[in-house]
Structure 1
Amino acid sequence: MPDPAEQTPSSSSESAGAAPAARRPRSVLVTGGNRGIGLAVASAFAAAGDRVAITHRSGEPPAGFFAVRADVTDGASLDAAFAAVEAEQGPVEVLVANAGVTRDQLLMRMSDEDFESVLDANLAGAWRVARRAVRGMVRLKRGRIVLMSSVVGLYGSPGQTNYAASKAGMVGLARSIARELGSRGITANVIAPGFVDTDMTRRLPEATQAEYKGRIPAGRFGAVEEIAQAALFLADAGYVNGAVLPVDGGLGMGH
């Protein structure tokens, strides 16, 4: 086998001075893509030249995207949403399962409904959209699934047993998909964001924000664009499968 260090420009697929081949636009779907991290992810894919659709459950969607109403807890709603997206931009090649909810409460006070509804939306919802997306991916023999977890899923958080359990479950879900469908050219990976500068964190009291930042080696909250860059990376990384990529400033390292 020739030594790559001795490879001449004429034998390389990227000769000196040659422009890299343009990447083919892909059909991308971001659930919960109407605000916050989801909107940043959708915007990053659109800026990269992909055809991007988003789902939203309520309100008016942002301009510039093909938007469909969908409820990740309702299989029929998702079927209709996927059908609309496929008709508009072709089978989904990149799925970012971002939609989720919180219902925080201390363990002794948390109701069955509070626990079950969060798992249904966050974990079962990600499973539902992945199940629907892989129909087209298997036919195409390629696909990227990115599940949006949280540092809380591995680190834990008081008052969030439901949310932490749902986000921890993303790891087993992604790794099972990776083992089941990796031979079909389909990858499934997890992003675990830490504290991110969003409307939710901005509403926290300044003292609470300072306390959280004190635990983060980076000393700051992340930007939504930094989460979006991680999603772009995983959508391009064909040999990364079943991985958990923390984007948390070092908060959860070792977990």
Structure 2
Amino acid sequence: YDQSVMKNYARLEKMAKPTKYIRHIGFGDGKFLYPGSHFDESKYKKQWTHNRITLSAQKIRGCVAVFDDDLEENIEGPAFKTHLVQIITKQIANELEFAYWMADTANYQGTAGAGGTAWCPDDIESLWDGWRYQITHSQVGQTYYNSVCGAAHIKQACYTGSGADWTIAGDIAEQNTVAPYNWEFKYAQMIKNMPAKYKSAFGLQNMVFLNSDLVTADYINALSARATALGDAVFTGKVPPAYGRVPIVDVPLMPTNLGADG
């Protein structure tokens, strides 16, 4: 099965050369408008925030051997070749999807305490830094900090320390064990902590929650336990899963057994 999802939300760039640069520019600090009677050359906007992304092409290869017996004895006839290509294409999409998310050139998954295994040289995950690695290394001073859009906002669902982002750590939806037995949905906290500029106009309508299908299942189970019209509609499939105006999209190849930085 083709389990790739995240690629559908990615920007694809055609590259005429092995390396391509994409420059970001932002307004930065300060304001632009002033009263006419107080405006002079000192008020000109001269400094902007900027950032440059470097895209580097990587070569990956694969090959399949098809023997004469397979071609001659299959029951599909000429359609066998097409079917075989479809199988290979789906496998390629799945392997790329996992690498897009989990790859890292620093073997970060294998560092002490990260709970993972370092990528081998013959793993394509060793060729580039995936989206997860870039997100977890996007704070000020780190490799993937972007001065235009700022650092990523990282929330740890299971963190229970003094700086916890939730009242009840754990699953995507948790119910308090004491009266009035309120529910806490971590989708709500993620939206609340997002900068307001991304929530204006059609901002939320252009966004999605990308998470493991297991996370979606926990959310649906919580809704069904509340015995509400929305919970019943989502549970029966009449309404696609969403939180507020933001759709929830399953990503089957996204692991759920990693730490916050693993």
Bin of the TM-score, shorter chain as denominator length: under 0.3
Structure that is richer in helix per residue: 1
Larger radius of gyration: 2
